[in-house]
Each structure stands twice: as C-alpha cells, then as structure tokens.
Structure 1
Amino acid sequence: MSLRPTIETRRAQPTMEGAGVKLHRAFGFQDPSELDPFLLFDDFRNERPQDYLRGFPWHPHRGIETITYVLAGTVEHGDSLGNTGRLGAGDVQWMTAGSGIMHQEMPQGNAKGQMHGFQLWGNLPSAQKMTAPRYQDVKSKEIPEIIDDDGTRVRVIVGEFWGKTGPVDGIAADPQYLDISLPAGVKKTFRIDTYRRAFAYVFEGAAAFADASKPAGVLLEKEVGGEEVNIRDLSGNRTLIRFGTGDEITVQAGPEGARFLLISGAPINEPVAWHGPIVMNTREELMQAMTELRNGTFIKPAH
C-alpha cells in the first residue's frame, strides 16, 4: 500500500455567480488538467437570503456533467426539456448536459434561512460531448450511509465503498463521491484507486491529512483522542486538499471532529476548450457552440 502525498492545501475563494449568488470556489477556470476529470467545485453556503435568492436563472451547458449535493434548504430546477424538480436536504442531482441544455436553479433557504450545497463539474470525453442530455434526481433516503464502530459515518453518493454502492451511476468520469464524518480524534485510512485523481474538501471541523514525507502515525503535536497530532497541519472549514498518486489516504479529525467530501475520478487526458458553462475539446467546437447559441440551434431535437 502507498500513501498519497498531500501536494496542495488551499482555501476556497469567495466569488459570485448566477444573478448574484455568493459562494466559495475551491477550484475552477484555471488549469483544467489539475484535477482532471473534474473541472470546477463550488460551495454555496449562506445564512442571508439576499445572498442566494436571486439564484441561477436560465443558462446553457454543453460538454459536461454536474453533480449537485444539497445539505440545507432546497433548490428548485427546470430545463429546456420540460423537466422540473426540487432538491431538498441530503438530496443529489446528476445532470448530463451533453449536446446542450438550458436550465435554471433557484435556491430557497430552510426555516432558519440557511442554504448550503455543493456543485461539482465533471468533464465529458470527446466521444460523449454531444450525447443526449439527461437527469437523475436522488432523494436523501436512497443514499446509503455506513456507520463504523468508531463512529465514522460515510454517505456513499457515487461509486462503491465498504460494500455499498451509491445510487448515482452512469457518470462518464466514473467518480467516487463520499461524504465522510469523523468523531474528534479519530484516525482513519481510506482506499482510493491508484489510477484516479483525488481531492478532499473539509467543510465542518478540521482534520489533518497524513503526508508520505512525514513520519508515519504522527499527524498532530497535541494529544487528541490518544493520538499525537500536529495542530499546524489541521485543515479547517472550506479547505481543499489535493493528493498525489498512491492507493490510500490517512486522515485524523481535530478536537471538534471533521466532515469532508472525498472525491476521486479517472482522468480523461484530452484537450479542453472552455468558455463559461460550455466545455469542448477544440476552439472550433467552442465557437460552433457559441454560434448555435446565437442562432437558436443550440438545443438539439430528441432522437
């Protein structure tokens, strides 16, 4: 077994999207090869309705898939194919934009006005860029949750883990998408396929991720749950951790526990031509998409 080194730790950056939704972007619109097959990851989390209610009005997508995971509040969605729906707390939506779709996503807060969710963009390989658009909405109760003896909780959203299979399938990036909660001080090792790119995103509490360059078994310099751990190595709220190659990661929760997403996928290794919500392989394909948006032929008839 080989431990994946931590090659970068960085905080998600505040930005604004849609009609004025305030969110934090962990990655996106820089180097698309960095976390291939993933292109973008946004954390939209607000407690003031004025920061999210204007939502994401009608906009196009082509050449990608999106996975939206809601933790608090709801998201109403509709599209150019006539689909409508509502995502509630714990629900997931997978959308394959394929050849092209127009859609909107309008967030609503819970009873306390809170709204929290994530959106991940996965690239489509060239052979599937122009596939027919489709949706899959998954309710929270359909997502398996595993509770280990030490109190570790894992929601398996996509992929296989500890004998359970997530309900979202058929995604080109073939990802594993896990929502992991660790009690205070618990140290855990998770397997990841060697050939996948991987990242973690901490959004509650804090955690230390072991690095291959450091002595095994020592994550903190303070005793937490009987383990010596280095508080300086703790990654807190809204922190992205990128991993190098290997087949496992080791993580230890800080004094207040930790909750993070652990996401991995098989790289596509193809050229990327990207403009806003449209991701193709060549500049010519990108220009064609923009021309079709202008002349009204962007949405393809169903076969």
Structure 2
Amino acid sequence: MKVLQRFSALPAMDGDGVNINRISDFELLRFDPYLMIDEIKSDNTQDFIGGFPPHPHRGVETFTYIRKGGFEHRDQLGNVKPIRAGDVQWMSTGRGVVHSEMPLADATEGLHGFQIWLNMPAKDKMRAPIYQDSCNQDKPQLNNDHGATLIALAGSWGFNHNPLSITAAIEGLAGQGSIADLILTHHAHGTLDVKRFNTLCVYIYQGELHYLDAQGLRETAGVGQLLLLDTHEICHFQAEVNGAGLLILAGNPINESIVQMGPFVMNTQAEIDQAVRDYQQGLFGQIV
C-alpha cells in the first residue's frame, strides 16, 4: 500500500463531557466525502456517562459503529433504538434532525465506538432525513486463510482480489461511502479491492501497521492514527505479532466547498445562519 499522508487523533470533549479522540478536516477536505472521525474508547464510565443530550444536525451524515457497550438513540422522527456492540447506525440528516445518544444502563463493561461524519452534496442538504440501522440483522463478513476478517459495515467491498464479494445491510451513503472493519490476528494479512474509489482512509484502533514511505524507508503507524492511501495501488495489509484492528473508510469526493458550524455543515454562511434560525424557532422538531 502507498501512504499519501498520516494524521493523528487529538483528545477532545463533546456532548455532556464525553472524552473522545478526534480527526477532522473541514477546511482542506483531504478525506472528502469524510469530514470527521470520533472514537470513544474507555472502561471508565466517567469518560462517557454524560452521553450526548438532544442536539441538532443539518447537511451532514452521521455513521455510528459500536464495538463494545452501547448507546440508546432517540430522535424527533420517532426512532428509539439501542445501538449495541456490532451494530451500526446511519443518519442522512438532510434538512434537519434532533437526536440524543445516551449510554445504555446495561452496558457496564466500558464503551468503544466510532461516529463518522460525511458531507452531503448541496442538492441533498435540504431533503428529508433518512434513518437506518443494522439492529437485529446479520453482519456480513468474510474470513481468509491468512487470519484476516473483513466485516462490511456500509456499502460493498472486495476482499482478496474479488471486486465485489460482500455487501453490508446499509447502503446509499454520500459520496458512495463504504465502511468496513478489518481485523488482523498476529501476522495476518489481506488485500482489499478499492479501484472504484478515489478516497481511502485507514484508522488504526488496535495494534499497528508497517509500511514503506516515499523514500522506501520503513515506517510504523499505531493506535489513533489515520492513513490516507493511494487507491491506485494494491492495498495489502500485513499485521505483525500483535495483530491490528482497522476501520476502513472508502468513497468518492463530493468536491464542494463547505461552511461548518458545530452540528451544521452547509455550503454558504447564509445557509448556516438559516439553519441556526430554523433550529431556534423550533422548526427541527422535538424528541417526544
């Protein structure tokens, strides 16, 4: 694999005092269509017990993946769902969603999960919201003979030189977004077919990866780092003795400039101002 750039997550706080690690790019849009990756990973309930009380979104898609523990989701559309380990949830917020995400009372062994933001094309930012989740559905996955497991979370994926071998329960993300969890045991390896994408990011949440830089020197990327890869190169992943857990984000750039303010992602400042007015006037609705 050819690494174009490497980024490191930074500690941040969101919601009601929830500690997270965050990688975001709302200005240069180097991950387009992806805007932000938040990881919550803690066995200390004080790091996340406050959760995310009711808040709005407009013009952005949120994709949540839980690996341990869980949240209860509520929104003004009437959706009330526990999102537990292995589950994913997608909201294409369009013209407006108000939702909350609060830790499940029976999830007592810590929390590990991700929320990923994708930009929406200008033509879709004021459409009706869309909600989907994978609760009570099988999670499609493939195993190879070399200790690698690919779990399809969104979209279709090729594995071991097969261009389209597995499809997730959730499809239709902005920018043809496709998301997968690639788990490598010690010394495992696997190859992804990503030729149809122009954006490919790999977030390392466990273990480490080794690769050669542009000068042919051996580099190591570890937990909390994001690699932006060249999709024209074969993407072969090789783990070392400790294995690796990789969140794979693929898609195609939307190539539109944006303006972001908190939970709103629009194309102009005027649209941001309108979103604020609409929310203040109660036009987003309320969670019942």
Shift of 1:109: 7.0
Name the SS for the 1:142 alignment partner.
coil
Moved more, 157-166 or 83-92: 157-166
| Partner amino acid, structure 2, of 1:126 | A
Give me the TM-score of the superposition, normalised by structure 1: 0.86
| Partner amino acid, structure 2, of 1:248 | I
| Partner amino acid, structure 1, of 2:255 | N
Q: 1:12 aligns with which of 9, 18, 22?
A: 9
Name the SS for the 1:173 alignment partner.
helix
- Residue 293 (structure 1) aligned with residue 279 (structure 2): yes
Task: Give distance in 2, aligned partners of 1:294 and 1:259.
Answer: 41
Counterpart of 2:100 in structure 1 is 104
Moved more, 126-135 or 106-115: 106-115
| Partner amino acid, structure 2, of 1:10 | F
- Residue 78 (structure 1) aligned with residue 80 (structure 2): no
* 1:168-215 superposed Cα distances (whole Å, 9 cap, x missing partner): 112222112110011222343322135421110111111113456528
Moved more, 196-205 or 6-15: 6-15
Task: Give distance in 2, aligned partners of 1:189 and 1:13.
Answer: 29
Name the SS for the 1:293 alignment partner.
helix
* 1:57-102 superposed Cα distances (whole Å, 9 cap, x missing partner): 0000000111100000111010112211100100000111111011
Counterpart of 1:143 in structure 2 is 139
Contact kept, 8 Å, 1:209 with 1:249, in 2: the verdict is: no
Counterpart of 1:62 in structure 2 is 58
Whose Rg is larger? 1
| Partner amino acid, structure 1, of 2:244 | A
State the identity %.
35
Question: Within 5 Å, which residues of 2 pair with 1:52-201?
Answer: 52-108=48-104, 112-139=108-135, 141-162=137-158, 163-193=165-195, 195-201=197-203
Shift of 1:39: 0.8
Task: Give distance in 1, aligned partners of 2:167 and 2:70.
Answer: 25
Task: Give distance in 1, aligned partners of 2:111 and 2:105.
Answer: 5
User: Is there any run of 5+ residues in structure 2 with no aligned partner, and where?
Assistant: 159-164
- Residue 260 (structure 1) aligned with residue 238 (structure 2): no
| Partner amino acid, structure 1, of 2:281 | N
Give me the TM-score of the superposition, normalised by structure 2: 0.90
Q: Provide closer, same or farther for how the CA distance between residues 96 and 111 of structure 1 changes in structure 2, counting only shifts above 3 A.
A: closer
Question: Within 5 Å, which residues of 2 pair with 1:27-46?
Answer: 27-28=24-25, 30-46=26-42
Counterpart of 2:236 in structure 1 is 250
Contact kept, 8 Å, 1:184 with 1:255, in 2: the verdict is: yes
* 1:211-253 superposed Cα distances (whole Å, 9 cap, x missing partner): 56528xxxxxxxxxxxxxx5xx222211111124524323221
User: Is there any run of 5+ residues in structure 1 with no aligned partner, and where?
Assistant: 216-229
Task: Give distance in 2, aligned partners of 1:266 and 1:140.
Answer: 30
